[in-house]
Amino acid sequence: MSLLIKGASVLGAEPTDVYVEGGVIREIGSPSETADSADSADEVVDASGLVLLPGFVDLHTHLRQPGREDAETVASGAAAAAAGGYTAVLAMANTSPVTDTAEAAVSVWELGREAGLADVFPVGAVTKGLAGEELAELALMNRSRAAVKVFSDDGRCVADPRVMRRALEYVKAFGGVISQHSQDPSLAPYGSACCHEGELSGRLGLPGWPGVAEEVIVARDVMLARHTGSRVHVAHASTAGTVEVLRWAKAQAEKDGSWAVTAEVTPHHLLLTTDLLAGYDPTFKVNPPLRPAEDVEALRAALADGTIDAVATDHAPHARQDKEHAFVDAAFGMLGLEEALSVVSTVMVSSGLLDWAGVARVMSTTPARIAGLDGHGRPIAVGEPANLVLVDPAATYVVDRDRSLSLSRNNPWHDRKLTGRVVSTFLRGKQTYGG
């Protein structure tokens, strides 16, 4: 199949035509330069007024399969990903059973191939059963057909510094990275701590989750990465204090050149604040919790200046019976894949903090580099894979959770007006979303 995308603004630049054949970009140029290709194209897409970006890569997706197919499956999650402009997602390991063996990783990878809507790359658990005690089959998962390169016990912190050190040393041998859920359980106990610690948590009677519980783990882990000469990735950074630690650590890592620290921020931590918890709506219960406005501002600035490397959704679907409880008893997490681009557009592009090339950097190029995905996050250039997304930068819409392609409905953006919307997504030239 051949495809001609006509009049697209590549990374927000002047309109041009992009011709795709065999899943690869073959020509880029003006209508006169692509005239012959236009005549032979099997499909022509009018992209006037649209921005063309490399397909997005999500470093942090919960697809729930195996074990909780009532909340999400690999297929439904991949459909939601495609609707959000994603051509690749990394599926977290906290499934049932846990993705802590090569066989489990390959199973998730194969489910993604069967769905064919986005490339699904399993994240391997750092420790067996996410128990934080014994390392999982890190090398075997890496050598499997799934070629796992990112490992995380997300949902739980690798709290034991000795285990974290060993994990960093182990993955160094094959260029892997440990993605850490930074939560010191002695300061923010798993399961109970659920609201940013402060005046609001005291007034609402909700167990506090202080920012320092994140920051002390981030500080410890960047020092362990420096000591081992390895790579650590900070998942869902949420506080201004974490930004300060990251800024220092990145400066040191750049000087040394032998180790690396990267970080991600979620769409919800870029826009939503802890005051939303005043109504006890469990939709807004997430881990780490929503933070005050000063943290949100620090995260936005850090994403703009590169201290935070990437946007990652932490897409966490839940069945209705797990969310419709009293706040303290409800499950942690919210949906993120389908509205991520719109949130970034609303918060970062509309404010001038990022241009469209910057969006490509934080949602595609850098996430692909962190995850070691050679076929994604590539330049829009002749000879590159046609993993692409078309965005309408002027579109405004009100989110309707009932239109989601996810199986779950715990959508924090419901009834919110956003600017910028994904129109079409292409995986190796095949349209996976749009009409």
The binding site for Zn(2+) comprises: 60, 62, 154, 181, 236, 314
Q: For helices 240-256 and 293-305, what crossing angle results, to 10°?
A: 20
φ, ψ dihedrals at 423, nearest 5° = -105, -45
- The one-character DSSP state at 11 is T
Which among 100, 153, 221, 314 is annotated as catalytic? 314
Nearest to 109 by CA among 86, 127, 128, 93: 93
Peptide bond into 66 cis (omega under 30): yes
Examine the residue annotation and report whether 281 is marked as an active-site residue of this protein: no
Q: How far from each other are the two terminal CA atoms of the chain, in whole angstroms?
A: 16
Distance CA(86)–CA(234), nearest Å, equals 21
390 DSSP β-pair partners: 52, 424
Alpha carbon distance 357, 54 (integer Å): 10
- CA dihedral 212→215→221→226, nearest 10 degrees, is -130
Is the distance from CB of 218 to CB of 183 less than 8 angstroms? Answer: no
Q: Tell me if 241 sits within 8 A of 229, measured CB to CB.
A: no
Positions at the binding site for substrate = 62-64, 94, 287, 318, 332-333
At 410, the amino acid letter reads N
Pairing of strands 2-10, 51-54: parallel
Residues 389 and 206: their CA atoms lie apart, in Å, by 41
Which positions ≥6 away from 103 have C-beta within 8 Å? none
Report DSSP letters for 99-116, one per residue.
Answer: S-SHHHHHHHHHHHHHH-
Q: Known binding site: residues? A: 60, 62-64, 94, 154, 181, 236, 287, 314, 318, 332-333
**Among 110, 166, 161, 113, residue whose Cα is nearest residue 135:** 166
Distance between CA atoms of 125 and 236, rounded to whole angstroms? 17
**209: three-class secondary structure by DSSP:** strand
**Does residue 424 sit in helix, strand or coil?**
strand
Q: 252: left (phi > 0), else alpha (psi -120 to 50), else beta?
A: alpha
What's the token pair of residue 13? 């630049």
Give the active site residues: 314
